[in-house]
Chains A and B, each alone.
Chain A
Amino acid sequence: MSTKLLLNIAKSLLLARWKQTLVAAVGVTFSITMFITLLSFMSGLNDLLDGLILNRTAHVRIYNDIKPNANQPINGNAQFKDAHNFIGSIKADASRQAIYNSGAIMESLKKDNRVLGLSPKLTAQVFFNDGTIDITGSIFGINPTEESKLYHFDEYVTTGNSADLDKVNNGIILGKGLADKLLVGIGDAVQVTTSKGDRFQLKMVGTFQSGIKEFDNIQCYASLNTVQKILSVPKDYITSIQVKLKDITLAPAVAKEYEQLFQTDAEDIQTANSQFETGSSIRTLISYAVGITLLIVAGFGIYNILNMMIFEKMDSIAILKATGFSGNDVKKIFIYIAISIGIFGGMLGLLFGFGLSATIDQIPFNTASLPTVKTYPINYNPRFYMIGIVFSLITTYLAGWFPARKASKIDPVVIIRGK
């Protein structure tokens, strides 16, 4: 009952000064609108840029690294067992790059229920022969269906069809930059020379554009079989297994486990692409900082308006206190006023923020390097809306708290005797 009465008084004071109230609410609305739009847009952009790398990168990559053998003979010598052994000029050992027992490893990975999917990969370093000029490049042997399913390979194939890699004998998809250099189109023959000197004829079935030009100038894709033929290696010869997990955050732990289990090297996505995490988090931080600054400015607006209202309503506060409203009651009235400005302005802000984001989402955004993106990217994460409304309530509460405390301390005797 008491709260209802105080709310009622707060409402009357608000409506009596509805123009001022509106100005204060518009301030909050504007800042929340910008906060939501900024975060949605920035986060959409982050997702897009991260997607360039992260979507196409394995969460855990299993491979054999070129490195010196960890078990050097001196370490086995009982005499130097407890000593720290310094060994100079070690060479990497001649172990092969292919993964031993790849078939069995893939079988056991498929049974691991943390794994979403996996695709084998084989890399071949080749020269593309263009008349008298040789252009270096690398051909990735992949399984096109798996690769499309897990790493959106088909999205980056701009001309031709990724499934043709399996259908067309010796088919190859060239990077856009490389295809332009070689002056070839779909259906044309492409000649490559392997590092061992073998020549091989391939048939172009499409081009792809990754969004990173440097990659497009050297990378090509062919089916696993085709690359195994180029390198003249057996059917189980693969150089890496790309594992996609259900939960990306498990990657570092899983990578360590696989290293132990399969006696190979395993690299997780967080280690391989740490710079992207840093970039995203800093961009997000900046967006939050700008959004919160806007809110604080709106908070000062509310503070001013409430201060003015208290000066105007000095008499009303005095009589309320004389007739039995305590300082605390008066404080609550002004805090209710501030909070209702926050709720009203904040809700409208969420609505306008959504509207503005949706508008930006419709603006065409065509760029040569991002073939899949047609409009500006927006991330409609409900979390931004939650944060927006919570922050608007906190700022308006704080903006109301100081004037409200001042109002609660008004001495009615001073006001009444002053008349």
Chain B
Amino acid sequence: MNKILEATHINKYFHDPVRIQVLSDLSFSINKGEFVSLTGKSGCGKSTLLYVLSTMDTDYEGSLFIDGEAMPKKNEPFLAKIRNEKIGFVFQFHYLLNEFNVLENVMLPGLKLNKYSKEELEHRAMEKLKILGIDQLALKQANHISGGEKQRVAIARALINDPHIIMGDEPTGNLDKKNSDLVFDIFNKLSDEFNQTLLIVTHDPSFAERTHRIIHMEDGVIK
């Protein structure tokens, strides 16, 4: 099996106000095409783990491999490039830039990657929006669409560079039942039809049950 993401002996401590261990000796890997959910109670360290895996948090012990490549802890521009190229993010909050329209928001990471021409990128962004069924919103300003639509735009943005893995931190946490189901169906479709690897943090048991594999955490360890 092709390992997309591998973590070995991850330890992490919070230093403020006192030194507390939040992650203790975590080792696991995620294969290509897997749809994995990361569950656990509030405060068990699941989000913390996700941010360590996302390369945004570099204050940990242990090693992290993405696509077989070891992640350094100090090289910020290199990690930014990895995030741009290989990881797509969907957060609880959409984080769209209100200054841009929907299409521009989706294109932004692609423009940064600078792999395709602007016209090509526009075409690709429209395709992603079509997959998510929101292509009619392309030219709307980002703050003029509904919450559910915003989250789908955020997913399209995560997809634009064809990442190795999509990471989600409670992507349905702010949505109602209908929109949650919609987002889950999208993830499922991405996994089934496009063999997309996904790692989603959630505390919604009905969401987790429907994924391929559940990683359940308690007090900083995998149960």
Contact = CB atoms under 8 A, between A and B. Distances in A.
Given A12-B100, A16-B98, A412-B56, A328 B77 contact: yes
Q: Which of B54, B80, B83, B157 has the most CB of A within 10 A?
A: B80
A316 B95 CA distance: 7
Nearest to A322: B89
A126 B109 CA distance: 92
Contacts of B51: 413, 417
Given A413-B51, A417-B51, A325 B112 contact: yes
Contacts of A419: 91-93
B180 interface: no
B123 to A, nearest CB: 17
A130 to B, nearest CB: 85
A5 B83 contact: no
Contacts of B100: 12
A416 B56 CA distance: 11
Contact of B169 (A318, A327, A416): A416
A315 interface: yes
Interface in B70-94: 76-77, 80-81, 83-85, 89, 91-93
A16 B98 CA distance: 9
Contacts of B113: 324
Contacts of B109: 323-324
A322 B92 CA distance: 14
Interface in B86-117: 89, 91-93, 95-100, 108-109, 111-114
Given A323-B157, A324-B83, A16 B99 contact: yes
Contact of A417 (B47, B97, B112): B47
B185 interface: no
B80 A321 contact: yes
Interface in A298-331: 315-316, 318-329
Nearest to A2: B114
Contacts of B57: 413
B128 to A, nearest CB: 14
Nearest to B98: A16
B1 to A, nearest CB: 27
Nearest to B108: A323
Contacts of A329: 80, 112
A326 B55 CA distance: 12
B203 to A, nearest CB: 15
B77 A5 contact: no
B112 A2 contact: yes
Nearest to B89: A322
Interface residues on B, range: 20 to 34
Interface residues of A, number: 27
A319 B95 CA distance: 6
B44 to A, nearest CB: 14
A323 B99 contact: no
Interface string A399-419: 000000000000111001101
B99 A13 contact: yes
A414 to B, nearest CB: 10
Interface in A361-419: 411-413, 416-417, 419
A416 B51 CA distance: 10
B84 A318 contact: no
B83 A322 contact: yes
Interface string B148-178: 0000000001000000000001000000000
A391 B54 CA distance: 43
A15 interface: yes
A261 interface: no
Contacts of A12: 97, 99-100
B80 A315 contact: no
Contacts of A16: 98-99
Interface string A226-261: 000000000000000000000000000000000000
Contacts of A2: 112, 114
Nearest to A321: B80
Interface in A1-55: 1-2, 5, 12-13, 15-16
Contact of A324 (B81, B91, B92, B97): B81
A324 B169 CA distance: 17
Contact of B89 (A315, A323, A326, A417): A323
Interface of A: 1-2, 5, 12-13, 15-16, 315-316, 318-329, 411-413, 416-417, 419
21 contacts: A2-B112, A12-B97, A12-B100, A315-B93, A315-B95, A316-B95, A318-B95, A319-B95, A319-B97, A321-B80, A322-B91, A323-B83, A323-B109, A324-B84, A324-B85, A327-B77, A327-B80, A413-B51, A416-B91, A417-B51, A419-B92
Given A1-B111, A322-B54, 9 more contacts: A12-B97, A16-B98, A319-B97, A323-B89, A324-B113, A326-B77, A327-B80, A416-B169, A417-B51
Interface of B: 47, 51, 54, 56-57, 76-77, 80-81, 83-85, 89, 91-93, 95-100, 108-109, 111-114, 157, 169
Q: Which 7 A-B pairs have the closest CB atoms?
A: A324-B84, A326-B80, A319-B95, A12-B99, A326-B77, A323-B109, A16-B99
